[in-house]
Amino acid sequence: MPSDDMIQNHAQTPPPPADGRLSDASAAIATVAILLFLGGLMLAIATNSLSGSSALLQTIKSRLFSPMLVPAWLDVGFDHRLTYGLPEDADHELEIVGHHASETEPLALPGGRRGEQAARWRRLARAIAVGNVEGDGSVIAAGVGRGGFDELRVEDVDVRVFRLPLPARADPVDAGASEQVYDARVRLVGGDLQLIKEEPTSELAPLVKAPAAGAAP
């Protein structure tokens, strides 16, 4: 027969939580986490103003809540790039060859590389061809050509960018139909790096001989 002490201890023991409910400790932790998150959101709203906010709010936000307000880094690449289907959205490839092509074998980039390394070379080639708001990509081309000096063991190279076609969904990729969209000569003269961009020949008006003296106009 149980004693009075055993009955009293059993009565003081809290019942286990029902199925599907959190324990008191878990509920307290979840409550604190929700309050911290809501506080971070309020700070983000309060400090996101062109007129500024108090130094105290800025300090609290930067010291405590910045890691919570920054989203996870999701730039992991995609198997299929999202584009508008413009010619500039096609893949680009680099070719570095000695200015006297018979002396060296061309260096193709990305060449046989795969994965993220190949994607970076294609992005670099596209940056040269398309350029940016500050220029036409010649600064990048000069750096690429300078890097090719050691590989080709020459100090006078041609940097070329080829744009691959954008095939239709059902069409096979034709690697032979690439289009050259950039060509520049990079050389080292007296320790100075020079870039000479090859521009396409423009259409000119035909030359007309000057009329002879005394002839009717």
Domain definitions of the chain by residue range: 23-72, 87-197
pLDDT of residue 112: 87
Q: Are strands 92-98 and 156-163 parallel, antiparallel or unpaired?
A: antiparallel
Rounded to two decimals, the pTM is 0.54
Stretch 198-214: mean pLDDT: 65
- Cβ proximity of 93 and 164 under 8 Å: yes
Is the pLDDT at 95 greater than 80? The verdict is yes
Dump pLDDT digits (tens) for 119-152: 899 999 999 988 855 567 888 999 999 999 988 8
The torsion angle over the Cα atoms of residues 177, 161, 181 and 143, rounded to 10 degrees, is 180
Is the pLDDT at 99 greater than 50? The verdict is yes
Is the pLDDT at 103 greater than 60? The verdict is yes
**What is d(CA 88, CA 92) in angstroms, rounded to the nearest whole number?**
9
pLDDT of residue 75: 46
